[in-house]
Structure 1
């Protein structure tokens, strides 16, 4: 086993001109071993020659603004749909950009509207022939003829993005000065060749750089911006900003059919990640991924040839470089860096395939939106850290780091002390785990969604999120159903599977429990994927022959054949959707003798009323909100099923989930060494190092009793937020 030294550094520290003494001080206090520049900062010459790794940030598609200004034909483009307009007569004029930011978008004058745009009657959902509409470049208007009064019409148009979304955010939120940054689309061969040449020069100009930190490669996630420069739509993993006429033409050659503008705007849904993807959208994703991997691999090879390591920050222009895809390994990167604010984000980083070093860049970022007078950045940081620690116990993390303006962070001495403690705890973690994995309970857990592995550990945004305004756009504070955060810190092997996986490969024998969680119609629950008898039969067989099935929110929801829950026969329940109003409600009897009954305690949160009612007579109702089922359990053949109305994250909910998974795995009678059933304390055992970790999630002292491998009880006392290590 490779030994990790307790004195070796493990943090990447941001630098800033004028803060050299602060950097050198914190380099020791925070146990850093690498320095990095950040957006808006540069590496001081004196620090660039330090005996440490030097990370240099490059976002190549934003790197040469002179070229971007000279070549608008190479800027990022996307399809936008005009806001619907109702015809009041037999002609209609639509200004496509009405409602969108004029600072960010221009109508693309490099492509023929009659070839690449589409006008549609949304009332009848029919495409208007190109002979019946005209685009006036001078007025930027579309005139539609022979319209039907009181029908709605839209224009789907190709827009050129003249202000990069990240640059726009920093200018409007963090008061950055300077020109408006544009992003280039490297899909165009001439543009790609220029960027390759620019990168070769960049490598020559950075002799002290040891790690090239790509942020990232080609295409940004989707942020659509309204008339007042406000965000009106976000999709952190969407492929909407990858479009160009050249790419669409090449796609047709590659896949044998042409995509339409409607395939991208999707009637205004824009193929949101929370929607089950269409086959056409998945083909486009594959097409984009193939290009980005090829482009990224060329850049990485250049960096390696120059004697430098490479890192990818899974941040700005990361679309097409998804670490859970097999193609990602063809890029050849050395380090994966993920922005981590909770346990799910940590697992998204640590659970991906490959031998890359995993580095977590923690929040808060050292920007003025957090580091301002009257605000306490420690509050956000500690809220993040206690979630991250839970997940770190389950999968190994190699490095940590921060980004932003060090001068801002240095104005908060208690934050400096707080990060010193985080770094100390992380150093102990590296020393005591030696990069090994903690002991897991028997049986693999699979999370079933329309996306499967490609979207592993991606937060399943629920409807509640739509009505929540976070403190900042970059903060993923999740409300409502958050089963994955509960799961991120539990001692189970977890994998993510899709409906296509079941159809093509069946269900692997090492899977003991399948989880289906999410709102109806979402990619997470599955939507129309449940309209497949092969899937239904496979899952019934899985449970009937001894497997476990956990459904949360709207599992197997798809209205067909007289039922809403297509696996309602397995769960023994149904949801009221105003189609079964004639069925008479019966009083519920709460089961008190079930194995899981002992874990139904105060403080559990099942969210909003479920509108779910029992259908089977042998269902065990463990918790309810009035007549709304909140938690049920049932035997089905040789297997078991559990339904939960909702599962927001809190530690009591996480511990309940642990016991539910144990029961569904038929493991409730076994002894589980070093397993905590105390809500606020996580315990993990590392068999390869003989160390036990106990972590207190809350600020109050805690006492926990666990059994060791010999069945003997071990008492552990923890101070508030303490992380304790015990050698056995």
Structure 2
């Protein structure tokens, strides 16, 4: 019987002692934490629970930051595009930015560190032809070409921490001081963060776990003049830039970065951009520096007898847990926000820490916990998507954040969390440390490889865009599927080839993006090695615009593997005869509805060997093709759903030539899944929906039986090695 206590972290706050004790017992929590905007009373800290204390390394110390304004964190920004109507142009470069967040850097020489660019030609305007009016925050440019467009790339100080700013605005904190982030690369700041931590550790004897939130540099989050999000990149290194960093980079790497290497035509090296060598060098440079500095803070924490936990978010830039240097930091634990199965796996798959923890949604903030709303709906949806991933690689702990007093006002939610925490402990106690059954090994191929394991765009407003939607859908489907997943880059294949144990490679995304690959597909070593691998029996799945780059008469560079290409309008004079669909196909055997997201148009079959599986609206949405001993599969798009999860699973087994093995540990109902654990002779059948489901279940020996599951139910079964 699973013990109904432990592995759960409860947020609390001041003047909430009795209610905290009640929920500690009800939810079986064994740890308490504060949140941004809350503190724990001394009486609460004396309860029988581990105490997590939020610690901000490079913010919430305005008394220091105000004295060292030259050490405030910086970032490069680009002005709006401005059209010259004569040989002179005046640009108000702060237009469109939130002036409570940023201030121009006039401390350093603007002629050395800023850049004015003719965006019509891409040429840099000679600094002698422009001046800065600091009083009005304008750049005046002379001797330029009329009717060309111009931008200013400028250094700015970030005078308000983005997370505190977001929370401040969301929760209407009024005149609460704006927290100023400072740069640990600067001498005074570097010494301050270490001295302050030493004193803080001594002054907080009741703290068991220092929850670093996080360390030094925030992901790129810039607000507009309406105090709304303007640019968000959860992986953006823009806020790690400074004159000191640029000088240190030049000394270490042997060349100097331009402002354009960071501004990137206004794209700011977003996750969707194929990374340049300069940007990858900069990422590596920042990660090394951050790892060295983090290691010192972790050691101070350990010396005081406390654990060091990192929040995977906010100021996490440079601490990427799948990077080369994270293992050197000595971190005890990582905690992150769980929004779905993908984000759960991003946390639970991290190696080199003693334990991982997920902060589940909803956050206890008034944007969810208000009269008339039912937070149980969001909580249950979040749990069901995350639970699929838990069955593959469980977190060690779960918890919540925010104002506990808000959640306490919703009794139905309180009761639901009790059920959820009990179920989590049951899952953990059954399978922690046990390798689940996997029928295939699948590699996701993109520009980032292992560095961005289980990571995509990670910004909420990106969901409407089909490429982000599809890529997230693929990872979400895989996060809880009975396959092993690895992440490889194009350079991995070029330099090292393809590992022998990989059954299927998936390449997906829009043309030109880091996920699809862009100009990487011109690399002959890449395409040759992949064709050879498929020819020898490998499976290749392309989704969206895979292998896409217009080159030598092809758009899909592996069109011969996929059996399809995309018409760009250049070969409209060439007839496309092949439109007849197959009568039936393994991939769609139990699929009744199709959702590819936004339509992908103008994909056509190369010849009559291509198996067109779904041809609707005059377009190919799903097809398969043989290539030597291997197979290629094309899918137009794959937003996450239970049906699309099944579609992807069937496509993978078909591509791998292992159709006969799919019915081992299998549920016929697409809303249900089977997870087997041969090491302990157990398996679980789960209902991923909020409705009652009946399914045929195939056990490890391929024997079928009928099973009915209540909404969201999980049923554990034992079996013998003989099935």
TM over 0.5: yes
Cα distance, 1:690 vs structure 2: 2.4
Aligned pair 1:562/2:553, yes or no? Answer: yes
Alignment of 1:605-644 (within 5 A): 605=596, 607-644=598-635
Cα distance, 1:606 vs structure 2: 5.4
Distance 1:542-1:468 versus aligned 2 partners, 3 A rule: closer
TM-score (norm 1): 0.96
Distance 1:501-1:221 versus aligned 2 partners, 3 A rule: same
Distance 1:297-1:461 versus aligned 2 partners, 3 A rule: closer
Cα distance, 1:605 vs structure 2: 4.2
CA separation in 1, counterparts of 2:459 and 2:164?
29
Deviations 1:503-541 (A, max 9, x none): 111111111110001111111111111121110001000
Q: Where does the alignment leave 5 or more consecutive residues of structure 1 unmatched? A: 470-475
CA separation in 2, counterparts of 1:412 and 1:478?
33
For residue 161 of structure 2, what is the aligned residue in structure 1?
Answer: 164
Aligned pair 1:48/2:45, yes or no? Answer: yes
CA separation in 2, counterparts of 1:201 and 1:119?
46
Aligned pair 1:221/2:219, yes or no? Answer: yes
Cα distance, 1:20 vs structure 2: 1.1
Contact 1:396 1:436 in 2 (8 A): no
1:415 to 413, 416, 420: 413
1:656 to 644, 647, 654: 647
Tell which deviates more after alignment, 305-314 or 454-463: 454-463
CA separation in 1, counterparts of 2:77 and 2:359?
33
Aligned pair 1:86/2:83, yes or no? Answer: yes
Aligned pair 1:38/2:32, yes or no? Answer: no
Alignment of 1:64-75 (within 5 A): 64-75=61-72
For residue 326 of structure 1, what is the aligned residue in structure 2?
Answer: 324
Give the match's secondary structure for 2:667. Answer: coil
Deviations 1:74-107 (A, max 9, x none): 1110111111111122222212212211111111
Give the match's secondary structure for 1:716. Answer: strand
Aligned pair 1:546/2:544, yes or no? Answer: no
For residue 602 of structure 1, what is the aligned residue in structure 2?
Answer: 593
Deviations 1:196-217 (A, max 9, x none): 1011111111101111111111
Q: Where does the alignment leave 5 or more consecutive residues of structure 2 unmatched? A: none
Cα distance, 1:172 vs structure 2: 1.5
Distance 1:355-1:137 versus aligned 2 partners, 3 A rule: closer
2:231 to 228, 233, 237: 233
CA separation in 2, counterparts of 1:96 and 1:160?
14
Give the match's secondary structure for 1:387. Answer: helix
Cα distance, 1:468 vs structure 2: 6.5
For residue 291 of structure 2, what is the aligned residue in structure 1?
Answer: 293
Contact 2:271 2:456 in 1 (8 A): no
For residue 473 of structure 1, what is the aligned residue in structure 2?
Answer: none
1:488 to 455, 458, 479: 479
TM-score (norm 2): 0.96
Aligned pair 1:696/2:687, yes or no? Answer: yes
CA separation in 1, counterparts of 2:465 and 2:569?
27
Cα distance, 1:55 vs structure 2: 0.6
Give the match's secondary structure for 1:714. Answer: strand
For residue 352 of structure 1, what is the aligned residue in structure 2?
Answer: 350
1:340 to 332, 338, 341: 338
Deviations 1:102-126 (A, max 9, x none): 1111111221101100111111111
Aligned pair 1:141/2:132, yes or no? Answer: no
Cα distance, 1:224 vs structure 2: 1.6
CA separation in 2, counterparts of 1:73 and 1:463?
33
Contact 1:548 1:641 in 2 (8 A): yes
Contact 2:233 2:458 in 1 (8 A): no
Contact 2:334 2:353 in 1 (8 A): no
- Figure out how many residues of one structure are paired with residues of the other and give that number: 718
Deviations 1:530-566 (A, max 9, x none): 1211100010001000000000000000011011100
Contact 1:103 1:163 in 2 (8 A): yes
Tell which deviates more after alignment, 574-583 or 247-256: 574-583
CA separation in 2, counterparts of 1:302 and 1:32?
28
Contact 1:14 1:36 in 2 (8 A): yes
